[in-house]
């Protein structure tokens, strides 16, 4: 199973630590069964080009990490994924501080299948 983690890249001094921890946890719990790449679109990324790139990777599940600075762009990206892939859109899960702060709004977003509030490590275990 391919689980693609997506973080919005904010600069050269940042690392997608939350996504890396979750990916590592999944790969350790399910050795050889789970592949968890992390994609970090650069600031000002093209929604369409990024959606095309994601779909070409053929993920089974997409995990978005939503922060205040990435919420609008990543929700727009999830909409583009849903529209571009017809009925073959991978499941899209949203997590991160914005989901914890506003879970109902994120869960009710039309292109989000599941919103995970709180610590992702707890939800996985």
Q: What is the pLDDT of residues 43-76, one digit of tens each?
A: 778 999 999 999 999 999 999 999 888 899 999 9
Say how many C-beta atoms besides its own lie within 10 A of residue 118's C-beta: 11
Separation between Cα atoms, residue 77 and residue 21, nearest integer Å: 23
Mean pLDDT within 1-18 = 80
Angle subtended at Cα 36 by Cα 48 and Cα 33, rounded to the nearest 5 degrees: 130
Look at domain 3-124 and name its CATH class. alpha beta
């Amino acid at each position: 199973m391919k689980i693609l983690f997506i973080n919005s890249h904010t600069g050269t001094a940042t690392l997608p630590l939350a996504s890396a921890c979750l990916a590592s946890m999944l790969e350790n719990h399910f050795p050889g069964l789970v592949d968890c790449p992390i994609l970090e679109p650069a600031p000002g990324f093209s929604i369409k080009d990024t959606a095309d790139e994601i779909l070409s990777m053929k993920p089974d599940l997409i995990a978005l990490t939503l922060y205040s600075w990435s919420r609008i762009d990543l929700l727009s990206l999830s909409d583009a994924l849903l529209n571009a892939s017809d009925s073959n859109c991978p499941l899209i899960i949203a997590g991160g501080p914005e989901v914890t702060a506003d879970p109902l709004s994120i869960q009710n977003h039309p292109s989000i299948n599941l919103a995970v509030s709180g610590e992702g490590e707890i939800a996985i275990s």
